Amino acid sequence: MSKFIVLVISSFTALIVLSGCNGMNSKPAPRKVTVVKQTIIQKASAKDIAKVIRDEKLAQVSNMPEKDFVVYGEGIAPMDTVSPAQATALAKRAAVIDAYRQLGEKLFGVRVNAKETVKDAALKDSRIVTQVNGLIKNANITENSYKDGLYTVRMELKMSGARWKEIFSY
């Protein structure tokens, strides 16, 4: 009988050793995690971006100072007018157009095209063409004067810093 007890105890011990004792220190098998990458494409307008910047306070748009642009336009009265009133009106119109052109140059820049023709080592023809393209809104004439056939206007354009950044930041 003692051989029987020794055989049972040794069998029981072998069973415990071979089973690996999956008890308290066992770790669960790692799970396989699958990551799915998605790309979302969304179109946003300038208004949407400005709203997000304003709402989220991502930029200090509201703290930007106001920008003032001041130009002086000049216009000369033509000699062949019907009356002095017509001469004054045409000079004023020329001065206003000159002021708008100068504002356009300041805000949008000037495109310059030049062409020169040389013949027999001498300059035969030289042409320089300048062009200004731009849209100017809300410019105000703050002063005007007419003296000796010359009409002068002072034109101002005030623009908030946020508007300046929206239009010209590139």
Q: What is the pLDDT of residues 70-107, one digit of tens each?
A: 999 999 988 899 999 999 999 999 999 999 999 999 88
Query: Given this model, what pLDDT does residue 115 score?
Result: 92
Q: Is the pLDDT of residue 125 over 60?
A: yes
C-beta of residue 157 within 8 angstroms of C-beta of residue 103: yes
Domain residue spans of the chain: 65-157
Query: Given this model, what pLDDT does residue 60 score?
Result: 47
* Nearest residue to 150 (alpha-carbon basis) of 77, 84, 50: 77
Query: CA 125, 129, 130 angle in degrees (round to 5)?
Result: 155
pLDDT, one tens digit per residue, over 9-60 is 777 676 666 665 555 555 666 777 777 777 666 677 777 777 766 666 554 4
Report DSSP letters for 62-121, one per residue.
Answer: TTPPPEEEEEEEEEE--SS-SSHHHHHHHHHHHHHHHHHHHHHHHHH--EEEEEEEEETT
